[in-house]
Amino acid sequence: MISDAGLDDTIYHFLYRSNASAELGQDQIDAIVDEARQRNAEMALTGCLHYEDGLFFQWLEGPKSKLDEVIAMIRRDPRHEDMTDLAYGPSRGRQFGDWTMRSTNRDEASLLEWFANHEVSTIDRGAYAGSIGAFLMAMN
Ligand SMILES: Cc1cc2nc3c(=O)[nH]c(=O)nc-3n(C[C@H](O)[C@H](O)[C@H](O)COP(=O)(O)O)c2cc1C
């Protein structure tokens, strides 16, 4: 039997993909990540943001109420659009406990190469979401 306190502490995760509104340079990505890290530290959120070929892939995790609050802010951010939700739900724990926001790019690891090497189908939605999750998990 899980106590109410235990339920309140449940860590939720959110995974999405979006299109950057404009081609972004590393300094603009760094500005987004700095902003994210400041608020995430206050909100007890952790995660990873990958940017590649004009696409963002983000894994964000933390207490549900804080996570939901920040997801709503991210949805309204004009620096990206066409947000596609890939996963949301309770987690067993944190994947990026040491990172207020890990930031990765294609120079560090390429999602396209990962897809090619793992023969990932981008048509099967479940497999696609799972593979992006697995790719980001390899960054922690
Ligand atoms: C791709 C992307 C990822 C972001 N990730 C986070 C995040 O993890 N945490 C956060 O607090 N803000 C994040 N932000 C920034 C928020 O969207 C931004 O701080 C907020 O929309 C600003 O709202 P305000 O202008 O009302 O303060 C992200 C923005 C973008 C474009």
Which of the listed residues 35, 55, 83 should we mutate to test ligand 1's pocket, taking the one with most ligand atoms within 8 A of CB? 35
Cβ neighbors of 38 (< 8 A, separation 6 or more) are none
Q: Distance (Å, rounded) from C-alpha 27 to C-alpha 16?
A: 22
- pLDDT above 90 (res 2): no
CA 70/CA 38 separation, integer angstroms: 12
Q: Is 57 in the pocket of ligand 1 (CB under 6 A)?
A: no
**Nearest atom within ligand 1 for CA of residue 77:** 21
What are 97-109's pLDDT values in tens digits?
999 999 999 999 9
Least trusted range by pLDDT, from 64-68, 112-116, 124-128: 124-128
If you take atom 8 of ligand 1, which residue's CA is the nearest one?
A: 36
Find out whether the beta carbon of 40 lies less than 6 Å from any atom of ligand 1.
Answer: yes
Please report the atom of ligand 1 found closest to the CA of residue 56: 1
Contact between 46 and 40 under an 8 Å Cβ cutoff? The reply is yes
pLDDT of residue 6: 43
Percent with pLDDT over 70 in the chain: 94
Sorting pLDDT into bands at 50, 70 and 90, what band is 8? low
Task: Identify the CATH number of the domain defined by range 9-137.
Answer: 3.30.70.100
Q: Residue 35 has what pLDDT? A: 98
Q: Is the CB of 33 under 6 A from ligand 1?
A: no
For the chain, what is the total number of helices (H) and then of strands (E)?
5, 5
What confidence tens digit (pLDDT) does each residue in 47-98 have?
999 999 999 999 999 999 999 999 999 999 999 999 999 999 999 999 999 9
pLDDT band at 127 (very low <50, low <70, confident <90, very high): confident
Smallest CA separation from ligand 1 atom 6, residue: 36
Whether the predicted pLDDT of 22 surpasses 60: yes
Per-domain residue ranges for the chain?
Answer: 9-137
Position 4 scores a pLDDT of: 43
